[in-house]
């Protein structure tokens, strides 16, 4: 994993909790989130970092109002940041209407093409 956090503790948190739990477009956001949390006095305890309803969720054990405000700020930023590439994105329902994703127009097109291919392959399979 590339270095997204400027703090060694933050980098260790990134490696343990982030890779594979969200798309790489959000790694820089999470690195900044962790750095800000650590500067605000956060103890570094994480319960979970994940994508939910097309937005970034960070769950911690305990924190001050300031710490929760920082988490809320990055949650809000995530719904305008493509989870795949990090460019500006929109939170919309995926092709097929089952999941919310925050993607830029380019990544959304790729996702739509991939979904259509999968549907065609599935329809053409012999039973």
Per the structure, how many domains does the chain have? 1
In a domain, 100, yes or no: yes
- Contacts of 109 by beta carbon, 8 Å cutoff, 6+ apart: none
Closest CA to 82 of 54, 52, 103, 56: 103
In a domain, 90, yes or no: yes
Residue 15 banded pLDDT, cuts 50, 70, 90: confident
48 lies in which domain range? Answer: 8-124
Residue-wise pLDDT tens digits, 44-98: 888 999 999 999 999 998 899 999 999 999 999 999 999 999 999 999 887 667 7
Find where tokens 């053409």 sit.
124
In a domain, 2, yes or no: no
Find where tokens 């970092």 sit.
49
Residue 11 has pLDDT above 90, yes or no: no
Conformational region of residue 28, where left means phi above 0, alpha means psi within -120 to 50, and beta covers everything else: alpha
In a domain, 1, yes or no: no
Q: What is the mean pLDDT of residues 35-39?
A: 93
**Helix segments in 27-85, DSSP class H:** 27-39, 65-78
**Least confident range of 2-11, 32-41, 70-79, 82-91:** 2-11
In a domain, 3, yes or no: no
């Amino acid at each position: 994993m590339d270095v997204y956090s400027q703090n060694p503790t933050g980098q260790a948190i990134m490696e343990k909790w982030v890779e594979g739990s969200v798309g790489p477009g959000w790694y820089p956001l999470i690195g900044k989130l962790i750095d800000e949390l650590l500067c605000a006095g956060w103890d570094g305890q994480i319960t979970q970092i994940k994508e939910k309803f097309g937005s970034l969720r960070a769950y911690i054990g305990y924190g001050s109002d300031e710490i929760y405000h920082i988490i809320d700020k990055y949650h809000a930023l995530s719904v305008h940041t493509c989870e795949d590439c990090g460019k500006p994105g929109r939170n919309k329902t995926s092709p097929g209407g089952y999941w919310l994703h925050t993607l830029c127009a380019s990544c959304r097109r790729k996702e739509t093409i991939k979904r259509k291919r999968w549907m065609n392959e599935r329809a053409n399979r012999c039973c």
